[in-house]
Amino acid sequence: MTGPRTAARRAVRSRARGAAIAAFVVLAATVPAAAGASGTQRIDVALPYVCLFPSGERSAAVRISAAFPERVAAGEPIEPADVTTTVELPKPAVADLAALGAAGVRAATRLKVGVTQDEATAEATWHGSTEPTALPADGPLTLTATGDVPSVTGRGAGELSMTAGDFSLDFTLTTADGGAPDPAEVTVDCALAEDAPDGGRLVGVLVGADDDGGTDGPGGPPSGSPSGSPSGAPSASGSPGQPEEGPPGRQGERAPRVTEPGRGGAAAKATAPTCKYDEKYPAGPMSLNAYITGYSNVNKLDGAALIPPFCTLITQGEPQFEFFPDYSGAWITQHSTADLYHRQRKQTPPFEATFLTFDFTPTTATMVLEQTGPMTIDSHGTTDFVFTSTDTHVRAPLVLRVTKLEVNGTPLDVGAKCRTKTSLASPEPEPAKYPGDHLVLHGRGEQTTGEPATGYLLLSGGPLTGKVTIPAFTGCGTADGEDLDRLLTASVSGSGNYVKQIQGQTCFVSADVLNPDECTDDAQPRKVPVAER
């Protein structure tokens, strides 16, 4: 399921209106009701979908719950809270996953949400992720995803409504022994059933007029750019477009503004390190930069370490095209290189993680990831010049260095040379071509011309996932102190640690004119991603 899926995407939409839907038992949608706290409404909506699995279409039930304000002032963002997406896959769909060699799955979900206010429209994407789940021996599979979702700001007074649209599941498959089958990742696209209750409507929020009766916020329209035109069509790169006037209606009517969580906000930018080219790392003709953040599991400690936003400097390679024999499309390959960057060093900023060592002792470590060799970004995909699908592998040799260690409040001197003996290591899909130990992260992205990208693409960013082995430690301790190598190795080192990193939108620093939606005035990435579990 890694080739072009234009036909499949169309088929699942068209056949969702056919006889298969008639046999689907429609789940009743719960009408949004006021919650206990005044001014808040909670929704719990169950919707029927039809999903395209390897063996064909399968019905699936998707339940969406969240909390929204009942009413907001003009120009005030509507921020969904406590968003949970639960999907129940029927037994045949579970059998499809098992037939691929999977004994367990982890899923990232993507729900398209249409936003409408009067005749103006926009579109948001609600991302979520699930915990690793074993496939049942018999029966359906229920997966529950949570995650941050965009806020929405109305462009005037009147009800703003949100409606569920297409739904996708990006599965990461695991075998019974903790390995990965081939393929290790599968994407399943789903279409909302034609007879979904109320057309998939989720909620309506009343946007109130100002005291003076105007339709805009104080001093004019809210600041910032909308995510797209009134038709909901963003720029081709997936980045926000420029403000545009809405269709005929109220004077000044514009599309609702969709703001991704933590992307470009002042608070998020304030916590991000400097990310710009300098005299030691000068920009070239194809230079990009981007922030990355995410989590890495430490299985032995039954926890995850948050890696705060860090900077990458990227040299984008020229895409290469090999046309299909009938010229209906082409294969695409692209080789790019990158470097971690922090204060003119190829490393991340120091970050802290606290775990319960041996299940009861709080241990806080300050760590740094150091790049020890070339970092590469290789993309392979296909395009029919309308729909493009790409798989990207990021390979980076990284050692983990521990700079501070505190056990139950007591500092332990780890010395200046405490680090893993070798690079972090991941299963390598092409070991002959890429020998040696290195971290491997994979991302899959799709884009239809005129629509925002989904998943991971180099320019627009997105989720990158993989598994990593943390090697044994060396050099931990001082000459006149305790040797801590064995303690850290026994507590931390091991295989199968799940990693999920989120890359933000890149800034094309070599452009003659910087894109203000992507770059700050001093050529740093404007958008800081938010870590997702």
* 3-class SS string, 2-22: CCCCHHHHHHHHHHCCCHHHH
200 and 334 both lie in a single domain: no
Asked if 34 and 41 touch (Cβ cutoff 8 Å), the reply is yes
Mean pLDDT throughout 57-66? Answer: 94
The pLDDT of residue 259: 59
Residue 217 has pLDDT above 70, yes or no: no
Count of domains forming the chain: 2
List, for residues 147-194, the tens digit of each pLDDT value. Answer: 777 888 887 788 999 999 999 998 888 898 878 888 888 889 999 999
Q: What is the pTM of this model?
A: 0.55
At CA 288, angle to CA 262 and CA 433, rounded to 5?
110
Domain range for 75: 6-218+225-239+254-259
Instruction: Give me the chain's average pLDDT, please.
Output: 80
The pLDDT of residue 2: 36
Structure tokens that stand for 30 in this block: 């719960």
303 and 393 both lie in a single domain: yes
284 and 235 both lie in a single domain: no
Asked if residue 519 is part of any domain, the answer here is no
Asked if residue 448 is part of any domain, the answer here is yes
296 and 208 both lie in a single domain: no
The pLDDT of residue 29: 25
Q: Which residues of 415-429 are buried (b: 16+ CB within 10 A; e: fewer)?
A: eeebbbebbbbbebe
Structure tokens that stand for 304 in this block: 């995850």
Q: What sign results for the dihedral spanned by CA atoms 140, 144, 149, 155?
A: positive
302 and 444 both lie in a single domain: yes
Q: What sign results for the dihedral spanned by CA atoms 81, 104, 293, 285?
A: negative
Residue 284 has pLDDT above 70, yes or no: yes
List, for residues 333-391, the tens digit of each pLDDT value. Answer: 999 999 999 989 999 999 887 766 555 567 788 899 999 999 999 999 999 989 999 99
356 and 473 both lie in a single domain: yes
294 and 201 both lie in a single domain: no
Asked if residue 160 is part of any domain, the answer here is yes
Asked if residue 106 is part of any domain, the answer here is yes
40 and 170 both lie in a single domain: yes
Q: How far is Cα 321 from Cα 330, in angstroms, rounded to an integer?
A: 6
At CA 308, angle to CA 222 and CA 260, rounded to 5?
25
Residue 225 CA to chain centroid, in angstroms?
22
Q: What is the DSSP string of 189-206?
A: EEEE-TT-GGGGEEEEEE
Q: State which amino acid sits at residue 115.
A: V
Give the DSSP H or E segment for 269: helix 266-271
